[in-house]
Amino acid sequence: MADPRTVILPCGVAVTALGQGTWGMGEVPGRRAAEVSALRAGLDLGMTLIDTAEMYGDGAAEEVVAEAVAGRRDEIFLVSKVLPSHADAGGVAEACRGSLRRLRTDRIDLYLLHWRGAVPLEETVEAFESLVREGAIRSWGVSNLDVDDLADLPPGAGPQTDQVLYNLSRRGPEYSLLPRCRELSIPVMAYSPVEQGRLLGHTALRDVAAAHGATPAQIALAWVLRHEDVIAIPKASSRAHVEENRAALEVDLTAEDLATLDRAFPPPGSKRPLEML
């Protein structure tokens, strides 16, 4: 199996195009061992970008990540997120310290504003830049920001990504957000790339999967990953699921496949509000 494809962030760092999400991890104690094992399996397969957030399980997901990456921190590109209610000058620093403590690390590679709240973006960005200077974070980015929100970032701001909901059934970002991010050279990070499994029973997805000897989840992931500047962060809670996700990188969708999926999941014909889960 070849090394995973990478995406270059604006700061010049290469990250794997297929990472690992942790939304929902740490919420059921009996699943913790399997979740840790799944994350470690992903690392073994080269899926070294792990995305988490202080919100997930009120920090419990970060604790799962800490256990999974123990002894391997230097292999990992670690992404976490601050809640908008903590996004003022003092709150960002305090939230970051909390995440660092739960993650048992001295730095977060990419720290994101989880979504836009009442705190001015300028204040949040200034707090992020302060954390970069301190070495607590290596870089920062945003999540769930649409085109107009990106335009409100302070002059000279340099987000490394915009993490948004993007999958076959949530194609709104294609109309204006993906093109704008390309103009700004900001890769998009797609969360819930298989719509938390709700896509997988669709007939068109099953038909394309059958033609490739693949699973519907692999086709849905391959569809998101067809963009060279999009990172996908599916969650998997078992080793088998991680291996299934990893194999999506080996799927090459044809023009006919893409046309079939376009008919089943039409691209947007106009601007749509940015969706969130």
DSSP of 183-252, one letter per residue? HTT--EEEESTTGGGTTTT-HHHHHHHHHHT--HHHHHHHHHTTSTTEEE--B-SSHHHHHHHHHGGG--
Within a 13 Å sphere around the CA of 271, how many CA atoms are in the beta-carbon half?
8
Nearest to 94 by CA among 130, 142, 121: 130
Give the active site residue among 56, 111, 166, 191: 56
The identity of residue 270, as a single letter, is S
Looking at the DSSP bridge assignments, the partners of residue 139 are none
The whole-angstrom separation of Cα 236 and Cα 212 is: 22
Active site residue 56: yes
Which residues face 16 on adjacent strands?
6
- Residue 111: phi, psi to the nearest 5? -115, 125
Q: Is 50 helix (H, G, I), strand (E, B) or coil?
A: strand
* Ramachandran class of 192: left when φ > 0, alpha when ψ lies in -120 to 50, beta otherwise: left
CB atoms < 10 A from the CB of 273, how many? Answer: 7
| CA separation, residue 49 to residues 69, 88, 153, 235 (Å) | 11, 27, 25, 12
Give the residue numbers annotated as catalytic, written as ranges: 56
